[in-house]
Chains A and B, each alone.
Chain A
Amino acid sequence: MIKFINVSKVYEDNGAKALSNVNMFIGKGEFVFLVGPSGAGKSTIIKLLLKEIDPTSGTIILNDIDITKVKNRKVPYIRRNIGVVFQDFRLLPNKTVYENIAFAMEIIGSHPKEIRRRVPMVLSMVDLSGKAYCYPDQLSGGEHQRVAIARAIVNNPPVLIADEPTGNLDPDTAWEIMKIIKDINRRGTTVLMATHAKDIVNSMKRRVIAIEGGRVVRDEEKGVYEYEA
């Protein structure tokens, strides 16, 4: 599903070496935490997967496609296979919850009937059916993130990438979000989540890939945030 083969990235503008010889394999349906200190290279990995940047060397395979060889023009089609959730939610303030989610379907030209069917479905998955016609400024932080998750999965992508999805949320709300992401994973979506949330990583007992100084320093099933839990 996601494969990094000898991936290195040197940022051209400042010569900083963000990743060196990263190898990792994430299978279909897996749930993987990506942990490590700030500046370790987590964001670089996510940017590479979204093809915001290209690696200096190495191969990245996503859903059997070598995305390092995909032309810029085709990038949007690659991104349709990945749902993304960010720490800062990134909702459109002038659209309702319903419209924010429908927007992701309109962009790819979905049938209005399909939109009317899918949007309420994902809204109920994230437990926001009652807030469909609210605007983002009427929502709490947790609700924001739930809308963002609903938007990320509405087109049924095989992979969900979450970049610090609980970073701006209080612990209780963070757990609600984790429960939703866990549910999404249970339905078969591969999840890659970059996080600093030690408690969450430690109690979820999922695969943990730790990055430090641009290298994979640890990769264990049912791992924990640090060596000493």
Chain B
Amino acid sequence: MSMKLRIFKNILKQGFQGSWRNRGMGLASIGSITAVLVILGMVLIIILSINNIVVETKNKFDEIQIYLEDDIESEKMKEIEDKLKSSEGVTDVYFESKDEALEIMKKDWGEESYLLEGLEENPLPNSYIVKLKDIEYADNVVSKLEGIDGIEEIKYYKDVIEKLLAAANYIKVGGIIIIAILMFVSVFIISNTIKITVTARKREINIMKYVGATNGYIRGPFVIEGIILGLIGAGLSILIVNYGYEYLFKVISEKLYVIFTVYLVAPHALLKDIIIMFMAIGVGIGTLGSLISLKKFLNA
């Protein structure tokens, strides 16, 4: 065995001993790392689900519906139709009459459709349904129709998508702030945990310094201890996020709406990414915490 390897083995052994000896405080550290990562997982799933919803909505609702007033002149209708057909991004223009609209509504309402039988007059308007290549073209198409009489209302889903994106953004920013604060707290808790080992071994470290141990050799066991805490925290949070979300997903799809879960991220789709990300963050927090706890001591 080479010299480097022997030194590494010593460091590893001491690191494991240290984490076992302070397991009490270690639990607090693991708890804080787990909390950070579970919240990170939640934010991640929420953001990705909202993104999914946005993408799905974009695909499904890439149309504009233009409701016409009942007394619109046929010239105007022709003008509208021409303008729509000549607009960029329009793939299809379809005229839906009042009667068609009512039929569709009756179909949608199913058993409750008898409620619509009592109507003396059809309250639904005639409309044009414009299919677009992409929802992005909507604003442009709508602006062309401005100033034409006889249009009652123009409905499209761009604003809904914008609201969703804004919500996703708020969640992202809020999540990042919360995660940053929690990471800071975890680093602090870990550095305090490791300070206990450092203090307990102060004498030993002093002697090590006199005998010519390098700072790396002295630091090693504490960094290992931090990494162990980080990895345990990461492991726990991976289990919690994975099984917790799986359970939640099942409850939502069984008890609520299957439609809703279509938009959610599938439970195991993220597992690999989460494992890599959580392990990296756990190790990072652990290392940083232990280095901070030693900084003052080694420089003195």
Contacts and interface: CB of A to CB of B under 8 A. Distances in A.
Contact of B210 (A73, A84, A106, A111): A84
A92 B215 contact: no
Given A90-B203, A92-B203, A92-B204, A103 B4 contact: no
Contacts of B140: none
B7 interface: yes
Contacts of B259: none
B34 to A, nearest CB: 32
Interface in A68-85: 73, 76-80, 84
B255 interface: no
A76 B214 CA distance: 5
Contacts of B3: 109-111
Given A107-B217, A109-B3, A109-B4, A50 B212 contact: no
A104 interface: yes
Contacts of A103: 207, 211
Interface in B202-226: 203-204, 206-215, 217
Contact of B211 (A73, A107, A109, A112): A107
A107 B6 contact: no
B22 interface: no
Query: Which of A80, A92, A109 is most buried by chain B, counting CB atoms within 10 A of its CB?
Result: A109
B169 interface: no
Contacts of A92: 203-204, 207
A90 B4 contact: no
Query: Which of B3, B209, B212 is most buried by chain A, counting CB atoms within 10 A of its CB?
Result: B212
A92 to B, nearest CB: 6
Interface residues of A, number: 21
Interface in A107-154: 107-112, 151
A90 B206 contact: yes
Contacts of A50: 210
B4 A104 contact: no
B122 interface: no
A45 B207 CA distance: 19
Contacts of A112: 6
A79 B203 contact: no
A220 to B, nearest CB: 30
B210 A80 contact: no
B212 A90 contact: no
B39 to A, nearest CB: 39
Given A90-B203, A90-B206, A90-B207, A79 B212 contact: yes
Interface in B147-206: 203-204, 206
A107 B203 contact: no
A79 B204 contact: no
Contact of B212 (A73, A108, A111): A108
Nearest to B214: A76
Interface in A82-109: 84, 90, 92, 103-104, 106-109
B31 to A, nearest CB: 29
Nearest to A157: B212
Nearest to A106: B10
Contact of A109 (B6, B203, B207): B6
Given A106-B10, A107-B217, A109-B7, A151 B211 contact: yes
Contact of A73 (B4, B207, B215): B215
A148 to B, nearest CB: 10
Contacts of B212: 76-80, 107-108, 155
Interface in B245-289: none
Contact of A76 (B4, B206, B215): B215
B215 A79 contact: no
Contacts of B209: 76, 79
A77 B217 CA distance: 12
A108 B7 CA distance: 7
Nearest to A107: B213
Contacts of B215: 73, 76
Nearest to B7: A109
B3 to A, nearest CB: 4
Query: Which of B203, B214, B215 is most buried by chain A, counting CB atoms within 10 A of its CB?
Result: B214
B212 to A, nearest CB: 4
A58 B208 CA distance: 28
8 closest residue pairs by CB, A with B: A109-B3, A80-B212, A79-B212, A107-B213, A104-B211, A109-B7, A76-B214, A76-B212
Given A76-B215, A107-B212, A155-B211, 20 more contacts: A73-B215, A76-B212, A76-B213, A77-B212, A79-B209, A90-B210, A92-B203, A104-B211, A106-B10, A107-B10, A107-B213, A108-B211, A108-B212, A108-B213, A109-B4, A109-B6, A110-B3, A111-B3, A111-B6, A151-B211
16 contacts: A73-B214, A73-B215, A77-B212, A79-B209, A79-B210, A79-B211, A80-B212, A84-B210, A90-B207, A90-B210, A92-B204, A103-B207, A107-B7, A107-B213, A111-B3, A112-B6
